């Protein structure tokens, strides 16, 4: 029987990393591939919509873990995945990104002696107040094989003592998903549904705990967005965490009162990228969106003091901003327009193929 590979999917940003990998691995006969969904994200708009848009196969195992504190969620995934591994006995576990399920499944695999590969390894914000930074550091320290998207990832891992032969630069797999769906994204005219003209609006996403969990910080962001909405139309698909915090802090009504700001439910990938590709500017704290805008050259203003994706600053269209600097930065971004330089190396839509080749070599 060929070796068994488990691919772990858990939360929204995982689905666009897992889709091309599942499609590529399912074409191979030298391994069997099973998809495990931990259930970290479970709303239809945060999970099912992506299985549909990205044609991800139905998971072979669904752990149904859901939300909770970091400890509850991480432990819940570990307990449930440990049971699956003891029965299914995978030879490799592939984890992607930096969410709680990533570190949970990596820990389970490592402790059962199953080899662990991490796709999107080596990224560092050097900010340990970010839950994802802890997940990245721990996952990379126990993974057997580390697939990086950019040279900074290789350098970070080497500095942390990871042996060079365990690091392979494969590029950015999210670009594979974008290229796979580009025709449908370009066809999609969802901006018209919002009454918007291509090139004449901004897209907003926010969900980082550091931005949305403290009502005072969130209030400053709401003020900044309300100010910007006097200058340009904005569409804001609201993450469930953010909606909950806006409601709790009594800030939702202030945003709803802005005539040029449209608050909508989280969008599916094709709808969302349909808007992003036609946006004049994107305002975000998302990791993935910093990368997608860099690939497309669309001005991106990231509401964070740091980024684990520095190539989006040095070789892309991303700028780090604060609520206070947002108005000037937005004016500058609108004046600057799109960046036309080539995207970072290996962000080329062929990362899944490199990952599959690498895995085959390591299995042999
Ligand atoms: C998680 C990841 C974060 C990633 C983000 C992408 C961790 C530590 N965080 O953050 O790195 O950037 O996903 O979106 O793994 N909720 C729902 N429905 C859902 C999912 C969540 O209502 O389908 C609500 C729940 O109230 C939940 C809260 O959102 O408590 C937060 O969800 P959680 O998965 O813990 O973290 P995210 O903020 O989504
Ligand atoms: N995304 C989406 N719909 C939305 C917001 C984001 O499809 O309403 C996509 C986005 O294009 C990117 C991914 O979700 O591919 C990023 O996920 P998220 O921002 O939730 O997480 P992060 O990347 O910050 O971990």
* Residues 6+ positions from 49 with CB-CB distance below 8 Å: 266, 267, 268, 269
Q: Check residue 298 and give its pLDDT.
A: 98
pLDDT for residue 364 is more than 90: no
**Mean pLDDT score of the chain:** 98
Q: Check residue 190 and give its pLDDT.
A: 85
Q: What is the pTM of this model?
A: 0.98
pLDDT for residue 188 is more than 90: no
Polymer length in residues for the chain: 364
Mean pLDDT, rounded, for 248-270: 97
Q: Which ligand is nearest to the CA of 42?
A: 1
Q: What is the pLDDT of residues 124-178, one digit of tens each?
A: 999 999 999 999 999 999 999 999 999 999 999 999 999 999 999 999 999 999 9
Which one of 45, 99, 107, 127 would you pick to mutate in the ligand 1 pocket, going by the greatest count of ligand atoms within 8 A of its CB?
99
- By alpha-carbon position, which residue is closest to atom 1 of ligand 1? 99
- Pocket lining: 258 vs ligand 2, CB cutoff 6 Å: no
Q: Check residue 254 and give its pLDDT.
A: 96
Q: Which ligand is nearest to the CA of 240?
A: 1
Q: Check residue 189 and give its pLDDT.
A: 85
Q: Which ligand is nearest to the CA of 175?
A: 2
Ligand 2 atom closest to the CA of 269, numbered from 1: 7
- Pocket lining: 100 vs ligand 1, CB cutoff 6 Å: yes
Mean pLDDT, rounded, for 46-73: 98
Q: What is the pLDDT of residues 164-181, one digit of tens each?
A: 999 999 999 999 999 999
- Pocket lining: 134 vs ligand 1, CB cutoff 6 Å: no
Rounded to 5 degrees, what are φ and ψ at 86?
-65, -30
Distance 41 CA to ligand 1 centre (A): 6
Mean pLDDT, rounded, for 265-271: 98
- Pocket lining: 273 vs ligand 2, CB cutoff 6 Å: yes
* Residues 6+ positions from 342 with CB-CB distance below 8 Å: none
> What is the full DSSP assignment across 49-111?
HHHHHTTPPPPSEE-------HHHHHHHHHHHHHHHHHHH--SEEEEESSSHHHHHHHHHHHH
Distance 111 CA to ligand 2 centre (A): 31
């Amino acid at each position: 029987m060929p070796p068994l590979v488990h691919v772990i999917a858990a939360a929204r940003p995982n689905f666009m990393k897992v889709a091309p990998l599942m499609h590529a691995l399912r074409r191979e006969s030298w391994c069997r591939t099973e998809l495990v969904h931990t259930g970290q994200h479970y709303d239809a708009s945060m999970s099912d919509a992506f299985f549909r848009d990205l044609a991800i196969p139905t998971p072979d195992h669904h752990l149904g873990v859901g939300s909770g504190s970091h400890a509850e969620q991480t432990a819940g995934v570990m307990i449930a995945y440990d049971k699956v591994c003891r029965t299914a006995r995978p030879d490799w576990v592939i984890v992607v990104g930096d969410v709680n399920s990533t570190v949970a499944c990596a820990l389970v695999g490592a402790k059962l002696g199953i080899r662990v590969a991490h796709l999107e390894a080596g990224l560092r914000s050097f900010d340990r107040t970010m839950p994802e930074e802890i997940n990245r550091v721990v996952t990379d320290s126990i993974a057997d094989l580390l697939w990086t998207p950019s040279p900074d990832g290789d350098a970070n891992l080497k500095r942390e003592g990871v042996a060079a032969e365990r690091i392979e630069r494969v590029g950015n797999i999210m670009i594979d998903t974008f290229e796979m769906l580009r025709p449908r994204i370009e066809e999609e005219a969802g901006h018209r549904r919002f009454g918007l003209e291509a090139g004449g609006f901004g897209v907003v996403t926010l969900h980082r705990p550091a931005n949305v969990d403290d009502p005072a910080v969130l209030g400053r962001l709401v003020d900044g967005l309300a100010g910007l909405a006097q200058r340009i139309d904005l569409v804001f698909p609201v993450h469930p965490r953010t909606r909950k915090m806006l409601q709790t802090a009594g800030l939702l009504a202030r945003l709803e009162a802005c005539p040029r700001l449209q608050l909508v439910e989280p969008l599916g990938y094709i709808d969302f990228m349909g808007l992003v590709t036609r946006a004049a500017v994107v305002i975000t704290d998302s990791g993935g969106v910093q990368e997608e805008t860099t690939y497309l050259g669309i001005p991106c203003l990231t509401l964070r003091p740091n980024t684990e994706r520095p190539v989006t600053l040095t070789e892309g269209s991303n700028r780090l901003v604060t609520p206070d600097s947002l108005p000037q930065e937005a004016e500058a971004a609108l004046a600057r327009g799109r960046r036309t330089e080539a995207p970072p190396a290996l962000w080329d839509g062929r990362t899944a193929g490199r990952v599959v080749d690498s895995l085959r070599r390591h299995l042999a």
